Amino acid sequence: MTHALAPLPGAVRTVPPARAVLRSPALPVVAVLAVLGLPPAPGGDGGAGPADAVSAAVVLYCAVRLLRERRRPLSPTAAVVLGLPVAGLAVAAVGASSPGAAFAGLGRYLQVFVLVPAAVLLLVRDRAGFRLLAWSFVGLALWQGAVGTHQYLTGTGASYQGEDIRAVGTFGPTDVMGMATVVALGLVCAVGLALGHSPLRWRLAAAGCAVALLAPLALSFSRGAWIATAVTCAAQLLLAGVRRALTVFAALTAAVLLLVGGVGAGTAMLQQRIDSITRVTDAPDQSVVDRYTLWAAATAVWREHPLTGVGLKNFPEYRDGHASLALSSGSDTEGAGAAFRRQPLLSPHNMYLLVLSEQGLLGLLALGGSWLALLVCALRESARARRTSRADVGTGDGGGHGDGRGGDGRDGGGCRPDRGVDCGLVACGLLLWQLTDFVYGDVGGPSTVLTGVSLGLVAWWALAGGTARTDGTGRDVDVPGAEGAVAR
């Protein structure tokens, strides 16, 4: 007669991965990303869309969970970091030209930089939830990239130099940066997952996804997305360590060379677009001229209202009075199933200058201070995760190899404890990409909600003790020194 063995004291029961995913509180956030894969409504103006409505539902869902569980939402540190932008927004909303503009601008900023990040922070309970969202970014990028590549190959994309070849995915020509943003963020997540210490099969899958996303990113013809992605991936490689960085860099370099020299990818238009990055000062095209002119206008507007700016949504009213005659009347959009349309230039296409002109120094310091705090805390947690991981290698903790293999060399068995190195690389990468891309763009369009989700993942890693151990049920295991942003 056999008897069941009683569990050892302090042991925890693990939940199968599939069941853990279905039970994850972060699952509603995946719905936000899934909606972004749908085509836009006919006649849409590129503003708020279904994904924004779903993000509002996620915020409400998070609030209901907090009330039902009767627990404090955020720690004082997390509340201050995420709530810091509210100060500048409140002042700038008072200076808006109308109540409607104040409400629209305030709602958009709160959604992207406060409410959605806080909801994601609270709904992501462990590294499994974090990785679920990171892989969701990759999946959305692969879908949009496939649609964009098909548009390029069949000549059904947005208009570019008289040909309908620009890959824009399901976002259409009114949001040409939408697909580029999705693909770039997915590529950043894939690189971070590939550089971590997860099982080998997952790292190989992530590396393959990163390589596959290079083509649609190139076909987006978005120079700002190219630059932000290159800077971010280089930073991720350095954060991962020299040896691992050299290996992955060699693989990515080979993929880029294959892409540029491949059939259809090395066209004269793409080569001209790449070369134009180094000629933005010597021989700028009209889009670069417009951008420089808008930057100068935003700077001039700020100089007249240095402390609090001109108010939310007020930049277009002051633009023409401070811009030179070199500024065009708008950008032409056409193709991808949409008719010709003249799109007005309503922002300086630089997030920092947009905030500076509309919210002044007060708004920029508040919003920039929040981002800087997230970056410092995220880098600190990543350094802690790497130190702990190296200590595991030195002591032989877990009886496995540093590449996620067990002591017998097989994938996944007996690997050392999960320190979340890949989560740190993804979080730091997402924030670095946003901060770099904000030099060439700002918020606007359906893809804007991705910024809020990205900042939420960064906030979880930076402020919720992302390097703490977690068990298979999603509960945090108490580790000395790990500070949780969610008061349990």
Compute the distance between CA of residue 210 and CA of residue 145 in angstroms, rounded to an integer: 11
The whole-number pLDDT of residue 159 equals 81
Spatial neighbors of 76 by CB under 8 A, at least 6 apart, are none
Average pLDDT of 315-338? Answer: 72
Q: What is the mean pLDDT of the chain?
A: 79
Q: Which long-range contacts (CB under 8 A, 24 or more apart) does 334-338 make?
A: 334/158, 334/159, 334/164, 334/173, 335/156, 335/157, 335/158, 335/159, 335/164, 335/166, 335/173, 336/151, 336/156, 336/157, 336/158, 336/164, 336/168, 336/172, 336/173, 337/156, 337/172, 338/172, 338/173, 338/174
Output 332 or 240, whichever has higher pLDDT.
240
Residue 407 has pLDDT above 80, yes or no: no
pLDDT at 335: 58
How many angstroms separate the CA atoms of 179 and 354, rounded?
22
Which helix (DSSP H) or strand (DSSP E) does residue 340 occupy? strand 338-343
Residue 56: what residue type?
Answer: A
Indicate the burial class of 412 (C-beta count within 10 angstroms; 0-12, 13-18, 19 or more).
Answer: middle
Question: Which letter does DSSP use for residue 483 in this model?
Answer: P
- What's the pLDDT score for residue 292? 86
Provide the pairing of β-strand 338-343 with 331-335. antiparallel
The average pLDDT across 200-205 equals 89
Give the pLDDT mean for 46-55.
82
Mean of the pLDDT values across residues 357-362? Answer: 94
Residue 5 amino acid letter: L
Gap between the terminal Cα atoms of the chain: 43
State pLDDT tens for residues 104-125: 999 999 999 999 999 999 999 8
**H/E run at residue 128:** helix 127-154
Q: For residue 326, what is the DSSP state?
A: T
> What backbone torsions phi and psi does residue 319 show, to the nearest 5 degrees?
-60, -55
Q: What is the pLDDT of residues 136-173, one digit of tens each?
A: 999 999 999 999 999 998 988 888 777 888 889 998 88
Amino acid 24: pLDDT: 81
Question: What share of the chain in percent tops pLDDT 90?
Answer: 41
Confidence of residue 19 (pLDDT cuts 50, 70, 90): low
| pLDDT band, residue 372 (cuts 50/70/90) | very high
pLDDT classification of 18: cutoffs 50, 70, 90: low
Dump pLDDT digits (tens) for 263-277: 444 466 666 666 666
CB 380, CB 371: distance < 8 Å: no
Residues 6+ apart with CB under 8 A from 264: 152, 153
pTM comes to 0.84
> Average pLDDT for residues 236-263, to the nearest whole number?
69
Q: What is the pLDDT of residue 461?
A: 95
* pLDDT (tens digit per residue) in 381-406: 998 888 876 665 555 544 444 444 44
Question: What span, in angstroms and rounded, lies between the C-alpha atoms of 51 and 93?
Answer: 24
Average pLDDT over residues 444-448: 85
Residue range 186-204: average pLDDT?
A: 90
What pLDDT sits at residue 130?
A: 94
Range of lowest pLDDT (77-91, 256-270, 416-430): 256-270
In terms of Cα–Cα distance, which of 464, 465, 481 is closest to 117? 464
Token digits of residue 4: 């069941």
74 pLDDT more than 90: no
